[in-house]
């Protein structure tokens, strides 16, 4: 089943449409349950693509369908609802709310999805190995632990899709491997489709499909061998 379909997608940030486009008419079908590693040089358009899939920004031209629905047809309200209920996000700098505890960060994600069940937040924190640290604030957690909270926050609402933009970009190799193992295992178990944008060749070994963004166009890679920056 195709869960994300990208059709002739263009993004030009210039106000008047001038300047080099960040996405140049790219196409892609992503199937349910795929675990994708998206490589590409800095500035090649990876984060731009994620923002468009999340409906946080709109394409200059072309279409994105999520579970068969055109994001443009959903309107602003529909896109917000989709983001809250169907999508999970993980970022390089964790993006936890600093004034909320680990538990509250995860619980907020449930509240926004209209599923305010504290026991689900506690279970998600247990699943990522943070039992006993629920009441800590982000600045009382290590980078790896903060990323675990971010994973718990994404998986707790059982989303169809998780978009992870450089999830290990700010972690050492060993912590990065633990995080990739945890994240990909959790997605495999729940059938969640995972898209990771990354510079780290490690990620390759956890993926079922490897893509590369070159000048705003996505290309397929056949093996991990070619990923050597
Ligand atoms: N909000 C913005 N306004 C104007 N230009 C932007 C904006 N966001 C990104 N760009 C430009 O679009 C292009 C693609 O940027 P993008 O952030 O998608 O790259 P990336 O592949 O995620 O890079 P990195 O690996 O460094 O994160 C770059 O030329 C960038 O300067
Ligand atoms: Mg980026």
Q: C-alpha distances in angstroms, 84 versus 60, 63, 115, 162?
A: 24, 21, 11, 12
Q: Which residue has the tokens 């209920």?
A: 85
| Residue 55 burial class via C-beta count within 10 angstroms: exposed 0-12, middle 13-18, buried 19 and up | buried
CB of 47 shorter than 6 A to ligand 1 = yes
Say what the pTM is. 0.95
Q: Which residue has the tokens 């004034």?
A: 99
Domain locations along the chain? 34-60+73-226
Chain-centroid distance, C-alpha 204: 16
* Among 163, 108, 152, CA closest to 127: 152
Helix/strand/coil percent split, the chain, to 5? 40, 25, 35
Q: Which residue has the tokens 């995860």?
A: 106
Coil/strand/helix, residue 137: coil
CB of 43 shorter than 6 A to ligand 1 = yes
Q: C-alpha distances in angstroms, 111 versus 27, 78, 107?
A: 34, 17, 6
Tens-digit pLDDT string for the chain (229 aa): 999 999 999 999 987 766 789 999 999 999 999 999 999 999 999 999 999 999 999 999 999 999 999 999 999 999 999 999 999 999 998 899 999 999 999 999 999 999 999 999 999 999 999 999 999 999 999 999 999 999 999 999 999 999 999 999 999 999 999 999 999 999 999 999 999 999 999 999 999 999 999 999 999 998 887 776 4
Structure tokens at 111: 């509240």
Atom of ligand 1 nearest to the CA of 40: 21
Q: Are 146 and 94 in contact (CB under 8 A)?
A: yes
Please give the CATH topology (third level) of the domain spanning 34-60+73-226.
Answer: Rossmann fold (3.40.50)
CA of 217 to the centre of ligand 2 (A): 15
Atom of ligand 1 nearest to the CA of 11: 12
Residues near ligand 2 ion, CB 5 Å cutoff? 46-47
Atom of ligand 1 nearest to the CA of 44: 21
């Amino acid at each position: 089943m195709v869960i994300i379909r990208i059709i002739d997608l263009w993004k030009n940030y210039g106000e008047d449409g001038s300047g080099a486009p960040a996405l140049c008419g790219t196409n892609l079908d992503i199937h349910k349950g795929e675990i994708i590693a998206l490589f590409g040089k800095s500035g090649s358009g990876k984060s731009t693509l994620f923002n468009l899939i999340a409906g946080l920004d709109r394409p200059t031209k072309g279409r994105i369908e999520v579970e068969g629905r055109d994001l443009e047809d959903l309107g602003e309200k529909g896109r917000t609802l989709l983001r809250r209920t169907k999508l999970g996000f993980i970022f390089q700098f964790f993006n936890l709310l600093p004034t909320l505890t680990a538990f509250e960060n995860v619980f907020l994600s449930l509240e926004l999805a209209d599923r305010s069940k504290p026991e689900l937040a506690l279970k998600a924190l247990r699943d990522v190995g943070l039992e006993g640290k629920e009441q800590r604030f982000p600045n009382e957690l290590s980078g790896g632990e903060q990323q675990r909270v971010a994973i718990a926050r994404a998986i707790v609402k059982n989303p169809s899709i998780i978009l992870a933009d450089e999830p290990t970009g700010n972690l050492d190799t060993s912590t990065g491997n633990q995080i990739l193992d945890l994240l990909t295992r959790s997605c495999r178990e729940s059938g969640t489709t995972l898209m990771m944008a990354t510079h780290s060749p490690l990620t390759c070994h956890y993926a079922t499909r490897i893509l590369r963004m070159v000048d705003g166009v996505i290309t397929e890679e056949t093996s991990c061998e070619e990923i050597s920056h």
